[in-house]
Structure 1
Amino acid sequence: MKQIVYFLLIFLFSFNLSAQNKYDLVIVGGNPGGITAAIAAARMGKSSVILERTAYIGGLPANGLGATDIATRMATTGLFLEFVNRIKDHYVQTYGKDSQQVKDCSDGYHFEPSVATKVFNEMLDEYKSKITVLTMRQFDSDPVNLDMYNDRIQCIRVLNRLTNVVEEYSASVFLDATYEGDLGAAANVPFRIGREGKDEFNEPGAGKIYKFWGGPEAQGTTFQPDNAVQAYNYRLCLTNNPSNKTTVQKPANYNRSEYVSLIEDVFTGRNTQVDMMQVTSEMMDKNRMLILKGQPTQLPGDVWGIHKITNMVSVPNSKTDANNQHRAFISTDLPEENWPWPTANWEWRDRYAQRLKEYTLGLIWFAQNDAELPSHFRKEALKWGLAKDEYADNGNFPRQVYVREGRRFEGLHFFTAKDAVPVSAGSRPPVYANSITASHYALDSHAVLKREKGRIHLDGFLSYPTAVYTVPYGVIVPKSVDNLLLPVPVSGSHIGFSTLRMEPCWMAMGQAAGIAASVAIDKDVKVRNVDINLLQTELLQQHATLIYYKDVLPDNPHFALVQAMGLRGYLPDWEARLNDPVDAETIKQWSLLAGRKLSVGAGETTRVKLLTEIFEMLKH
């Protein structure tokens, strides 16, 4: 009898543990894409758990990426814009609406890491009854760590890094919100790593390429494919405020030889800007003489002091988002050594993260202290240090590597450069009727190799312009796994992914994934069979933008109408011009799209009234 009771207790305990770890959504990764997925699902009544490997949620915005990467600010809205508005509200409430901090926050698009963390936590706290956040939970990308049946993930197993106990979590839908794509890979979703050649998709910047920053391709460019991964770095929060500055110390594993090439770059003024096309050796010799006389660099495109090794954008309270310097041959990026990261285990990744940290601190220490550098260069560099009120438990250093690109999955839609580049001058890129967000950033990739003798820049460091584009649902949907969405390691080529990989777009795709998962649960369908109309309707109710118009933003009463009709092809231009009289050519075009003759004459009504009539007609 005692034995039966014992086994019954074990069964009940196991059942209860299983019930506690069962959610509507399991989200692996506590970066912004995972956070917005959980919030969007919570708004639809769904429960979720966020499993984050580190002790903190928030991803890169909470780790130094405080200057938001978005080219057209109102192109991406929804939960991303809510985050931005909360950032601004924080600075207004804390310092006053006329304060310098409010000006420096740039309407909420520029922020301190600690403020991003605060805002993300506040957004999650509003849905405590639906969202569970568990930190220090590590998912190792191995098929043994998940159970699948009939193309569905049943459960996954993660390591609790605090207790060293393996925990099991089950859900109706799983989301991979990791920067690396660890969950999708464990589920055997096909993925790519490296650079496609130009001949595969005819993309600008594809394959091996050397170009001046802002200039043309140059010698050494072959456009050939390879296995190279663009460089990672840390986004540093630096300050020149003496009362909040902590001096950078020489790291334990300092290797001066890694940085000595900077000395000649400083004296000659050599850089990677397009201006160098006009620079002669005589100009560089003259620059050296001026520097030896105590003057700063005079060479076109060159910068001085700490700016020589990091590109800084101001955020509030005299701090900066300090990124890799795109003008430089040597900066905070550490190319080549990160190539294994996407598929490596966490032991390797942790070693590389420490190596990158020491390399970065060593670079700054070198720029500030090496005796072979000009004294006035060092003095200028020494004005800057780590902000002592950020990352107080981590030596004031960011906790997370900027993983710009990990695995790229092959989903229902494979996003390439052609999806972000206008089909003709002044027009839009292709418009996708199943769009889940609009977005806008350049085709942007960092280097894949360290400096090479005779090259004008680092291999793969590039930027090409785009226009505001639409993102089709298929980029987050695998072809085979029925209950998995991929809002962060999305489907695309190296060049196509290079514009999708910005946090505003990741947040928007996360929001769409949370809604899509909820619809799939409600309708009991595979994620690839989610009704796009239901998905888009809910996205619009959550104030997302699916197609961008300069003159119709989310607060416009006709916003939903314009979104729906724009995706149907009725409004191909950048402005909807709703109050303009409808002209004969427009009536002709809209009649063709509607499949029937519209009984209205030119100038008899406005564009918005006719659009409304057509929209109502199409419903029936």
Structure 2
Amino acid sequence: MMKKFSLLVAAFFIACSAYSQYDIVIVGGTPGGIMTAIAAAKQGKTSVLLERTSHIGGLPANGLGATDIATRGATTGLFSEFVNRVKQHYIQKYGAESKQVQDCSDGFHFEPSVGEMVLEQMLAEQKSKVTVLKMRQFDSESQNISMRNDRIEKIRILNRESNKIEEYTGKIFVDATYEGDLGAAANVPFRLGREGKDEFNEVGAGRVYKYWGGTEGEGSTFQTDNAVQSYNYRLCLTNNPAIRLEVKKPLKYNRDEYVSMIEDVWTGRHTGVQMLQVTEAMLEENRKHIAKGNVSKIPGDVWGIARITNMVKLPNDKTDANNQHMAFISTDLPEENWPWPTSSWAWRDTYAQRLKDYIQGLIWFAQNDKELPEHFRKAAKEWGFAKDEYTDNGNFPRQVYVREGRRFEGMYFFTANDATAVAPGKRPVIHTSSVTASHYALDSHAVRKREPGKVHLDGFLSYPSAVYTVPFGVMVPKVVDNLLIPVPVSGSHIGFSTLRMEPCWMALGQAAGVAASLAIDDQVKVKYINGEKLQKILLGQKATLIYYRDVNPADANFEMVQQLGLRGYLPDWEARLNDAIDQQTAMAWEKLSGKKLSYEAGKTTRSEVLKSIYTNTAPDNRNASSH
């Protein structure tokens, strides 16, 4: 009888253990984590997605509805599927010729609730393989992770509803948090703060002051420090009275935080490069001009709510309201967020409330403070929160915009030089192990508050980049054998400043899901997966690994161009498949392939020659993680 009872107990514990055991354990319900789960499901793998809040979707579900991508088509795959679903939602609900479809900008602009809905739909289609658990908090402490022989065996998660600890075991673990909490608990080395220019010779590195759109100016030392770029909330504002809610004065309101803006409004002083042409006499003349009931006439100056937030139109009379780059005071709150990446969730929650109070106070100040021009206040009062967004959170975003947390040191360390053209008009360096192409400026928000005499806030900058390739190694730790980090990736402050955009994170999540599946199938460490297999699967899912202006994922020759492009056959921005091949190009391709090619210069098309090479040459079998 005792033996039978013992077997029943053992069976019970095995069953309980199996419930919490998955192929892949993903911490963070960000878009990067979501795409990891979806991509893994497509490879037949089970995963659990552990999200701290009661909503999945990260920032696109919390106000970041104006998609940050400089070249549409550079990043595709599951990201393109997300964008296309957004567009189809607006078409089906409002009609193809509707204003909503026009304002969704082909699916790249969307309301927060729509972003969340689409991501939920994509997950629901994989529900047989993906378990989504909300209100699950991972605290980055050693007792919450069990490791053996450089492998994570299990993690411990706080169920915020039951206040009980749960354990999750898996074959592969994925850190998809904005902060990098799981990787830090696994002792993966990470960086905080800004590298100096002397370390990697990057533009914008270290301490930098510059007019927005201008060059570096007085006070720039380019030296390293511990400063973290500022956070804010991406607000959903509207000027439609039918859905507009008044912004109330917060209980913790400190007028002194905003008073320096009064003089800025009256004079028109701002942080844009146009100020180089503005004299003190012009500022004083503008004060008199405004006193007569006019708006500012200083070049580059903006009026009303635009003084404190930069808005991009979304469907249904809503906006994605971000920090105003041209202002000394806006919705960013520099300096106070520096501890966030390595702090406890208790500290983070306190800061999140502080940031909310600050932003609501800023808007209330702009709309109501009697020292501001009356017509300025009136213009600002035209705007308020959208009453049908974040209805369970007082119509305010639920999640802080964490632009930068921990940055891990992985198999490849991405810097600004990886995103900068090697010569004018040329590409950046091509990574043969690329898992996505991407494109956004080298873009960082301020790290310090307003300082007397400075032309702008320290670290608020943007530099141009070119469409680049992202090597697999940016999400692969050097030591931990079964961990991938597709969101808090490996890079410098400036390098990370372009990788940190949600389209890129979605693409890296997709690659992480496929890579994790390959590691499981081939029973290898994540850094030893077959890179060619990874790329072939991604290409089959219409992911773009290297961008060409004249070949997209719908083209029949897409996979060929992608693979040969990464191997150096097509270094320019166009593949020009229908052009006739010239002698110089043919000789270069013969050298690359090591084979004598059959062609007639000036007559045989480049496509015909490339197909011959693609068919008859073995792929480059170098391990993807070695680049």
Task: Tell me what 2:21 maps to.
Answer: 22
1:189-229 CA-partner distances (Å, limit 9, x unpaired): 00000000000000000000000000010100000000000
Partner of 1:294: 293
Distance 1:271 1:570 in 2: 48
Partner of 2:324: 325
Deviation of 1:142 (Å): 1.0
**Quick one: distance in 2 between partners of 1:563 and 1:576?**
10
Matches within 5 A, 1:392-403: 392-403=391-402
* Pair 1:54-2:53 in alignment: yes
* Per-residue CA distance 1:533-577 (angstroms, 9 max, x = gap): 100000011110000000000000000000000000000000000
Aligned match of 1:487: 486
Partners of 1:447 and 1:9 in 2: CA distance: 60
Contact 2:597–2:609 (CA under 8 A) maintained in structure 1 = no
User: In 1, Cα distance between the equivalents of 2:7 and 2:271?
Assistant: 71
What secondary structure is seen at the aligned counterpart in 2 of 1:585?
Answer: helix
Does structure 1 residue 36 correspond to structure 2 residue 42?
Answer: no
Q: What residue number does 1:74 align with? A: 73
Displacement of 1:16: 1.0
- Rounded Cα–Cα distance in structure 1 between residues aligned with 2:566 and 2:515: 18
| Partner Cα distance (2:13, 2:368) in 1 | 60
- The aligned amino acid for 2:74 is A
Task: Report how far residue 15 of structure 1 moved.
Answer: 1.5
> Quick one: which amino acid aligns to residue 245 of structure 2?
T
Q: Aligned partners of 1:16, 1:147: CA distance in 2, in Å? A: 21
**Distance in 1 (alpha carbons) for counterparts of 2:608 and 2:268:** 60
SS in structure 1 at match of 2:377: helix
Corresponding residue of 2:410:
411
**Alignment check: 8 A CA contact 2:331 2:362 kept:** yes
**1:606 Cα deviation from its structure 2 partner:** 0.7
- SS of corresponding position for 2:242: helix
Tell me if 1:596 matches 2:573: no
- The one-letter code sitting in structure 2 at the alignment partner of 1:529 is Y
Paired letter, 1:35:
I
Residue equivalent to 2:85: 86
Which whole-Å CA distance do the structure 2 matches of 1:327 and 1:436 have between them?
A: 35
- 1:356-380 Cα shifts (integer Å, max 9, x gaps): 0000000000000001111100000
**Deviation at 1:592?**
0.9
What residue identity is the alignment partner of 2:249? K
Q: Distance in 1 between matches of 2:221 and 2:4?
A: 72
| Amino acid of the structure 1 residue aligned with 2:68 | D
Superposition deviation, residue 230 in structure 1? 0.1
Shift of 1:12: 2.7
Q: Distance in 1 between matches of 2:6 and 2:301?
A: 74
Deviations 1:116-138 (A, max 9, x none): 01100100010110000000000
What's the offset of the Cα at 1:605? 1.3
Q: CA deviation at 1:93?
A: 0.3
Structural mapping, 1:318-467, within 5 Å: 318-467=317-466
1:171 is matched with 170
Deviations 1:94-137 (A, max 9, x none): 00000000000000000000000110010001011000000000
Residue aligned with 2:322, SS = strand
Indicate the SS of the match to 2:284: helix
Q: How does 1:462-541 map to 2 (within 5 A)?
A: 462-541=461-540
Alignment partners' CA distance in 2, 1:219 and 1:226: 18
Query: 1:305 is matched with which residue?
Result: 304
What are the ranges of 5 or more consecutive residues in structure 1 without an aligned counterpart? none
Aligned equivalents of 1:146 and 1:10: distance in 2? 26
Q: How many percent identity over aligned positions?
A: 68
How many angstroms apart in 2 are the aligned matches of 1:599 and 1:555?
Answer: 28
Cα drift, residue 9 of structure 1: 4.3
1:604 CA drift (Å):
3.8
Deviation of the 1:8 alpha carbon: 4.5
Counterpart Cα distance in 2 of 1:127 and 1:516? 18
Q: Tell whether 2:134 aligns with 1:135.
A: yes
2:250 aligns with: 251
Give 1:163-202 correspondences, 5 Å limit.
163-202=162-201
TM-score, normalised to structure 2's length?
A: 0.98
Q: Tell me, what secondary structure is at the counterpart of 1:546?
A: coil
Aligned-pair CA distance for 1:600: 2.5
Letter in 1 for 2:191: R
* 1:454-488 C-alpha deviation (Å, 9 max, x unpaired): 00000000000000000000001000000000000
Question: Does the CA-based 8 Å contact 2:598-2:609 persist in structure 1?
Answer: no
Provide the C-alpha distance between the structure 2 equivalents of 1:112 and 1:168, rounded to a whole number of angstroms.
35
Deviation of 1:7 after TM superposition, in Å, equals 5.0
The CA deviation string for residues 488-545 of structure 1, in whole angstroms up to 9 with x for no partner, is 0000000000000000000000000000000111111100001011000000111100
How much is the aligned-residue C-alpha RMSD, in angstroms?
Answer: 0.9
- State whether structure 2 residue 143 is matched by structure 1 residue 147: no
Task: Tell me the SS of whatever aligns to 1:111.
Answer: coil
1-structure distance, mates of 2:249, 2:545? 49
Structure 2: 5+ residue stretches without partners: 620-627
Distance 1:201 1:14 in 2: 52
Amino acid at match of 2:447: V
Q: Distance in 1 between matches of 2:464 and 2:476?
A: 27
Partner SS, residue 83 of structure 2 = helix
Q: Secondary structure at the match of 2:287?
A: helix
Alignment partner, residue 232 of structure 1: 231
Letter in 1 for 2:319: T
Alignment partners' CA distance in 1, 2:11 and 2:253? 56
| Aligned equivalents of 1:305, 1:374: Cα separation in 2 | 10
Query: In structure 1, how many angstroms separate the alpha carbons of the residues matched to 2:8 and 2:85?
Result: 48
- Aligned partners of 2:339 and 2:519: how far apart in 1? 35
Q: Which residue of 2 aligns with 1:274?
A: 273
Counterpart Cα distance in 2 of 1:52 and 1:97: 35
For 1:539-618, list aligned pairs within 5 A. 539-618=538-617
Q: Partners of 1:594 and 1:125 in 2: how far apart?
A: 45
Matches of 1:539 and 1:423 in 2, distance apart?
27
TM-score w.r.t. the length of structure 1 is 0.99
Query: How far did residue 308 of structure 1 move?
Result: 0.1
AA aligned to 1:167 is E
Deviation digits for residues 171-202 of structure 1 (CA, Å, limit 9, x no counterpart): 11000000000000000000000000000000
Aligned amino acid, residue 384 of structure 2 = G
Aligned to 2:194, the other structure's residue is in SS state coil
Paired with 1:425 and 1:263, the residues of 2 have a C-alpha distance of: 43
Q: Residue 322 of structure 1 aligns to which amino acid in structure 2? A: A
| 2:44 alignment partner, SS class | coil
2:320 partner SS: strand
Letter in 2 for 1:66: G
Q: Which amino acid aligns with 1:298?
A: K
Q: Distance in 1 between matches of 2:50 and 2:4?
A: 34
Supply the distance in 2 between the matched residues of 1:152 and 1:70 (Cα, whole angstroms).
35
In structure 1, the partner of 2:113 is 114
How far did 1:5 drift? 5.9
How many residue pairs end up in the alignment? Answer: 619
Structure 1 residue 596 displacement after superposition:
2.7
By how many angstroms is 1:11 displaced? 3.0
Query: CA shift at 1:6, angstroms?
Result: 5.7
Cα deviation for residue 163 of structure 1 reads 0.2
Amino acid at match of 1:309: I
- Residue 74 of structure 1: SS of its match in structure 2? coil
Work out the CA distance in 1 between the residues paired with 2:447 and 2:175.
25
Distance (Å, rounded) in 1 between the aligned partners of 2:221 and 2:402: 26
